[in-house]
Amino acid sequence: MKAQEPAADATSIAASSSQAAAASEAEKFIGTWKLVSAVSEEQGTGRKTNIYKGTPAGFINFAPDGRFIAMVVDSSRRKPAGNVPTAAEAEGLFRTMIAYAGSYVVKESQVINHVDISWNETWTGTDQFRTFKFDGKLLHLSTAPSPSPLTGEPSKRTLSWERAEQVAGG
């Protein structure tokens, strides 16, 4: 008589189910997302304001190979008067953007971006943790309460993204 194999225990089933759910969530990230809103919530008051003076413009791309790239700018940015920005113009351009790239991993309710390059060298080599939530066509990414990279004020920032339309020939 052939011996029966032991039934899988609840722990291994739960672990397997959890891994499958994490893989499924990670697959939802893949592609290019267009920024639709950027809101800051002040820590002391809970007051919510738009992060940028104008409409935020940006894209974030999560590739299947585990790499990401993000760039966000304020639409109120002023074009320099000439081909080469003055020092004041360059500072204004720098202070109205965020750009970084590296690798990412999805773990439970967070996406962790390991920053390989950045517009601001203080981010290079760091891990940026974002809590995520999928809501219909939207992906919401929120920081933990921390100083804003644009103002230094303590806040929680939530950027909402909509999957970008595929371009012709893409």
- The C-alpha atoms of residue 94 and residue 24 are separated, in whole angstroms, by 36
Contact 131, 112 (CB under 8 A): no
Choose between 118 and 19: higher pLDDT.
118
Q: State which fold the 31-163 domain adopts.
A: Lipocalin (2.40.128)
**pLDDT the model gives residue 14:** 43
pLDDT band for position 22 (50/70/90)? low
Weakest mean pLDDT among 72-81, 129-138, 154-163: 72-81
pLDDT digits (tens, 9 = 90+) for 37-87: 999 998 888 999 998 887 889 999 999 999 999 999 988 888 999 999 999
Domain extent listing, the chain: 31-163
Nearest by Cα to 29 from 168, 129, 161, 165: 161
Q: What is the pTM of this model?
A: 0.80
**Percent of residues, the chain, with pLDDT higher than 90:** 61
